[in-house]
Amino acid sequence: MITKAPDASCPDRAIRANYPAVPGSPHRAMPDLLAEYKRIPVPERTELVLSAELEARWRPCILRDQDAQVKAYFARRADLSGAEVEALLADPNQTVRLNCARRADLSAEQVARCVADRDPNLRYFIARSPQLSEAQRAALLADPDPLVRRAAAKGPKHRGTRQRPGQAPLIR
């Protein structure tokens, strides 16, 4: 069994630390669980990520899902851990990242990364964040993209959540 504490700079390690070791092996049970998850059809995975009854064992698998829509819905869940948010902000898909930019629980470092992101759509969403510093808001007011500048000029927008029956609360 691995006894080393997960490295806080590696969200994947922090997430994997929550999974029991395979008996008699130093390796975690993640590969078997991931294979089981991949057998779930994509429409059912989408329902799974929205479910209020999402089992904790599926959460690391969702972070590895190749379907961007599944991860984008997951990014909107209000109950994500810091490690999950970190992993989603590092996702190569802009839609996944911009759904994270809506969150009110981003760290100052995560907000700074969103402000500096190469994608104007992500900068557009973070431009309305109440978490922006004055310097960050000023930088977005001078952004090369006119829509980002317009969003920053509107000022902070506090986002609520919505919850349909049987679903987890989602950030709007």
- Residues with Cβ within 8 Å of residue 6, at least 6 apart in sequence: 13, 14, 16, 17
pLDDT in tens, 32-91: 888 899 999 999 999 999 999 999 999 999 999 999 999 999 999 999 999 999 999 999
Q: What would the pLDDT profile of 86-145 be if each residue is shown by its tens digit?
A: 999 999 999 999 999 889 999 999 999 999 999 999 999 999 999 999 999 999 999 999
pLDDT at 31: 82
> CA-to-CA distance for 118 and 49, rounded, in angstroms?
28
Phi, psi of 61 (to 5 degrees): -65, -40
* Domain residue spans of the chain: 8-103, 105-158
Specify the pLDDT at position 76. Answer: 95
The mean of the pLDDT values for the chain is 85
What percent of the chain stands above pLDDT 90? 73
Give the Cα separation of 46 and 71 in Å (integer): 9
Alpha helices per DSSP H over the chain = 11-16, 30-38, 42-50, 59-63, 68-75, 82-89, 94-101, 108-115, 120-126, 134-141, 146-154
pTM, to two decimals: 0.76
- Give the model's pLDDT for residue 3: 30
